[in-house]
C-alpha cells in the first residue's frame, strides 16, 4: 500500500531508489556502469514510445467520439465496449494492407519521409514533464530544444510532398513549409514572454514557477495562451489550419500517395503532435503536473486532454481558412499582438 | 489602424459566437437510429409490401376476385387471380392471388381501387433477397395477420356490406 502510494505520488524518489539499488548490484558484479545507463535510457525510451502509441490509439478514438458529439451522432460504437477497440481494428487493417509505391516516386526520400515526420514529434517528449520527476531529461535548454525539434517536422512533410512526384502532394508540402515557418514566430514570441516570467528555459523550472493555481501563467498571459493555442494548432496542421491536406483542393496533400504502414505513421505523427502541442500548452500555461489530491501524472493527463478537447472543439467549429488569409493572419495579426504582449510583459516585470 | 483594431474585435466576437453554437450541439441527444437494434416508428400510411390480411370477424380474407387491382396495376405486379363461386353465397371467393413485389413500385393504386379494402400496404420494408423467385407470393395462401394500430386503421376503411344493408331494410 505504501509502495503504491509512493509510486503514484513520489515517482521520482522510487525511480531514483530503484536506479541506486540496481547500480549497487551492477557494481558488485564488476560490470561497466555505462552499460547500465544505456539499458536505463533504452527502458525510458521504450516506456515513452509505448505510452505514445497507446495514447495515439486512444486519442484517435477520443477525437472521433468528440467529433460525433459535436455533430449530434454516436460515433464508433460497434467494436468493443462503446467502440473502444475501433482504432485498434483500424490499425490492424492499415498494417495488413498492401504497401503501394507509385512508380515514379523518389524511393529513398519517399520511404524516409514518414519517419522524418514522426521522429521529431517523438524526440520532443524527451523534455516533457509527465509528472513529478517524470521527465526523461530535464535539459537546461528545455523549451529551446522543443522549438528546435518541432521545426524539423516540416522537413519530413516537405520531403513527403516532393518525393511523391505529384502536384497535389508538392503543393501540400510547400504550403505546410510556409505555414510552419510563419506560425513559429508568434509561438516563439509567446514562449519568450513565458520565459520572462519563469526566468528559466528548463521545463522543470517552468512548472515549479507555477506552484499554485493563482501563479499559473494562463492568468498572467491570457492573450498569450490564446495566441499559443492558435499558433500551435497551425503548426501541427490541424483544422482550421489543415491547408497542407485540404481534401477539397489537394486530395490529401502530402499523404496522397502513401498507404498502409507509411500512412499509419503520418496518422500517428499527426495525433502525437496534437498531444504534444497540448502537453506543451499544459506545461507552459496550466501548471504542468501540479494539482491537489490526484497523482501528478493523472493531473498532467487531465489538463492535457482538456486542451486537446478545446482544440477539437475549434476544429469542428471553424471552416478551413484560405491560403492568402493564412499568411495574413499570422503576419498581420498574430505576430504584432504577440510582440505587444511581449513588450507589455517586459515592462510590467521591469517596473512592478 | 482603426479598421485593424475593429477587425480583431469583430473576429474574436464571431469566433466565440461560432464556438457557442457548436457547444450547444454537444448537449443534444443524438438523433441517430441504431438500426438493427432500434426499429423506426412507422406511420400508418407507410407503404411496405402488399398483403391480403385476414378479417378477424370472418376468419378469412375479404377479396372477391373482382380483378380491379390487377387491371389498375401499372407494372402487372398482381399477376394472377383465380376466383371460385361458392354455392348459395352472393360473392365469389378467391383461391389464388399471385403478387410479385419484385416489380411492385408501391404506388398504392391497387389499395385505393379495391372496393372491399381487401388488400393493404403492410409495414414490411426489409424485403431484399438473393433469389428472385422468392418475390412471387400467393397472398391468399399466406393468411397474413395484421396487429395493433394498423388493424384498427384497416378496419375503419371497411364499408358496410350490401347484403347486410338489405337485411336491415
Would you give per-residue pLDDT tens digits along chain A (352 residues)?
777 777 777 777 777 888 888 888 888 887 777 888 888 888 888 888 888 888 888 898 998 888 888 888 888 888 878 888 888 888 888 888 888 887 888 888 888 888 888 888 888 888 888 877 778 777 888 888 888 888 888 888 888 888 888 888 888 888 888 888 888 888 888 888 888 888 888 888 888 888 877 778 888 888 888 888 888 888 888 878 877 777 777 777 787 888 888 888 888 888 888 888 898 888 888 887 887 887 888 888 888 898 999 888 888 888 888 888 888 888 888 888 888 988 998 898 888 7
Cis, bond preceding A240 (omega within 30 deg of 0): yes
Asked if residue A4 is part of any domain, the answer here is: no
| B167 interfaces chain A, CB cutoff of 8 Å | no
- B41 contact partners, CB below 8 Å, separation of at least 6: none
Nearest of A327, A151, A159, A319 to residue A255 by alpha carbon? A159
| Cβ atoms of A41 and A136 closer than 8 Å | no
Q: Which chain A residues are Cβ-neighbours of B22 within 8 angstroms? A: 70, 313, 316-317
Q: What is the pLDDT of residue B160?
A: 65
Distance (Å, rounded) from C-alpha A117 to C-alpha A155? 7
N-term to C-term CA, chain A? 48
Mean pLDDT for the stretch of residues B11-27: 87
Distance (Å, rounded) from C-alpha A17 to C-alpha A159? 45
What are residue B127's phi and psi, to 5 degrees?
Answer: -105, 0
Q: Smallest CA–CA separation between B6 and chain A, in Å?
A: 12
> Which of A74, A317, A320, A339 has the most B C-beta neighbours within 10 Å, making it the best mutation to test the interface with B?
A317
Q: What is the pLDDT of residues B39-72, one digit of tens each?
A: 888 888 888 888 888 888 888 888 888 888 888 8
- Phi/psi-derived region of residue B38, left when phi > 0, alpha when psi is between -120 and 50, beta in every other case: beta
Every domain of chain B and the residues it spans: 50-158
| B8 interfaces chain A, CB cutoff of 8 Å | yes
Name the residue facing B22 among A74, A316, A337 (closest C-beta): A316
Q: What is the pLDDT of residue B163?
A: 58
Asked if residue A17 is part of any domain, the answer here is: no
Residue of A nearest to B27 (CA): A69
Grid cell at residue A137? 531529461
| Banded model confidence at residue B167, pLDDT cuts 50, 70, 90 | low
Grid cell at residue A109? 526520400
Range of the structural domain that residue A153 is part of: 97-351
Q: What is the pLDDT of residue A114?
A: 86
| Banded model confidence at residue B95, pLDDT cuts 50, 70, 90 | confident
* CATH fold of B50-158: Alpha-Beta Plaits (3.30.70)
Q: What is the pLDDT of residue A196?
A: 86
Give Cα separations from A234 to A181, A195, A328, B146 (angstroms): 10, 22, 13, 61
Asked if residue A1 is part of any domain, the answer here is: no
Q: How many domains does chain A have?
A: 1
Grid cell at residue A92? 490492424
Asked if residue A31 is part of any domain, the answer here is: no
Grid cell at residue A195? 520565459
Give Cα separations from A224 to A127, A151, A315, A341 (angstroms): 21, 20, 20, 7
Distance (Å, rounded) from C-alpha A148 to C-alpha A150? 6
Give Cα separations from A320 to A28, A69, A75, A248 (angstroms): 62, 20, 22, 10
Name the residue facing A313 among B7, B22, B28 (closest C-beta): B22
| Banded model confidence at residue B164, pLDDT cuts 50, 70, 90 | low
> Which of B5, B30, B35 has the most A C-beta neighbours within 10 Å, making it the best mutation to test the interface with A?
B30
Asked if residue A46 is part of any domain, the answer here is: no
pLDDT for B165 beyond 60: no
Q: Which chain B residues are Cβ-neighbours of A69 within 8 angstroms? A: 25-26
Asked if residue A20 is part of any domain, the answer here is: no
Amino acid at each position: 500500500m505504501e509502495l503504491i502510494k509512493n509510486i503514484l505520488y513520489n515517482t521520482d524518489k522510487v525511480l531514483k531508489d530503484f536506479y541506486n539499488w540496481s547500480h549497487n548490484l551492477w557494481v558488485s558484479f564488476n560490470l561497466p556502469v555505462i552499460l547500465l545507463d544505456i539499458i536505463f535510457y533504452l527502458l525510458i525510451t521504450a516506456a515513452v514510445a509505448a505510452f505514445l502509441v497507446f495514447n495515439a490509439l486512444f486519442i484517435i478514438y477520443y477525437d472521433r467520439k468528440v467529433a460525433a458529439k459535436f455533430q449530434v451522432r454516436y460515433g464508433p460504437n460497434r467494436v468493443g465496449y462503446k467502440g473502444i477497440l475501433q482504432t485498434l481494428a483500424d490499425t490492424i487493417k492499415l498494417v495488413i494492407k498492401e504497401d503501394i509505391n507509385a512508380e515514379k516516386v523518389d524511393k529513398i526520400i519517399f520511404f524516409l519521409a514518414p519517419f522524418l515526420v514522426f521522429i521529431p514529434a517523438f524526440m520532443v517528449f524527451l523534455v516533457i514533464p509527465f509528472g513529478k520527476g517524470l521527465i526523461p531529461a530535464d535539459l537546461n535548454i528545455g523549451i529551446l530544444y522543443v522549438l528546435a525539434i518541432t521545426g524539423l517536422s516540416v522537413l519530413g512533410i516537405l520531403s513527403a510532398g516532393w518525393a511523391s512526384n505529384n502536384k497535389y502532394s508538392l503543393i501540400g508540402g510547400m504550403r505546410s513549409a510556409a505555414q510552419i515557418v510563419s506560425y513559429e514566430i508568434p509561438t516563439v514570441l509567446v514562449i519568450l514572454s513565458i520565459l520572462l516570467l519563469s526566468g528559466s528555459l528548463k521545463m522543470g523550472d517552468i512548472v515549479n514557477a507555477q506552484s499554485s493555481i493563482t501563479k499559473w501563467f494562463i492568468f498572467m498571459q491570457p492573450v498569450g495562451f490564446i495566441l499559443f493555442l492558435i499558433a500551435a494548432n497551425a503548426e501541427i496542421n490541424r483544422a482550421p489550419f489543415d491547408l497542407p491536406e485540404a481534401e477539397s483542393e489537394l486530395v490529401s496533400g502530402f499523404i496522397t500517395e502513401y498507404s498502409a504502414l507509411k500512412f499509419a505513421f503520418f496518422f500517428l505523427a499527426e495525433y502525437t503532435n496534437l498531444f504534444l502541442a497540448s502537453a506543451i500548452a499544459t506545461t507552459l500555461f496550466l501548471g504542468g503536473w501540479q494539482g491537489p489530491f490526484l497523482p501528478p501524472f493523472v493531473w498532467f493527463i487531465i489538463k492535457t486532454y482538456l486542451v486537446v478537447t478545446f482544440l477539437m472543439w475549434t476544429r469542428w467549429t471553424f471552416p478551413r481558412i484560405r491560403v492568402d488569409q493564412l499568411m495574413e493572419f499570422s503576419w498581420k495579426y498574430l505576430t504584432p499582438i504577440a510582440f505587444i504582449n511581449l513588450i507589455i510583459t517586459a515592462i510590467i516585470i521591469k517596473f512592478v | 489602424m482603426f479598421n485593424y483594431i475593429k477587425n480583431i474585435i469583430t473576429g474574436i466576437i464571431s469566433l466565440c459566437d461560432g464556438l457557442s453554437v457548436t457547444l450547444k450541439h454537444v448537449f443534444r441527444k443524438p438523433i441517430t437510429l441504431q438500426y438493427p437494434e432500434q426499429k423506426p416508428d412507422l406511420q400508418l400510411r407507410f407503404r411496405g409490401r402488399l398483403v391480403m390480411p385476414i378479417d378477424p370477424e370472418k376468419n378469412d380474407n375479404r377479396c372477391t376476385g373482382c380483378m380491379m387491382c390487377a387491371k389498375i396495376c401499372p407494372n402487372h405486379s398482381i399477376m394472377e387471380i383465380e376466383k371460385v363461386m361458392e354455392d348459395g353465397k352472393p360473392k365469389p371467393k378467391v383461391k389464388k392471388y399471385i403478387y410479385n413485389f419484385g416489380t411492385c413500385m408501391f404506388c398504392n393504386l391497387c389499395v385505393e381501387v379495391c372496393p372491399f379494402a381487401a388488400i393493404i400496404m403492410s409495414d414490411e420494408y426489409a424485403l431484399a433477397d438473393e433469389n428472385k423467385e422468392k418475390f412471387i407470393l400467393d397472398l391468399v395462401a399466406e393468411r397474413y395477420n395484421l396487429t395493433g394500430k394498423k388493424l384498427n386503421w384497416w378496419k375503419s376503411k371497411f364499408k358496410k356490406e350490401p347484403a347486410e344493408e338489405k337485411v336491415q331494410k
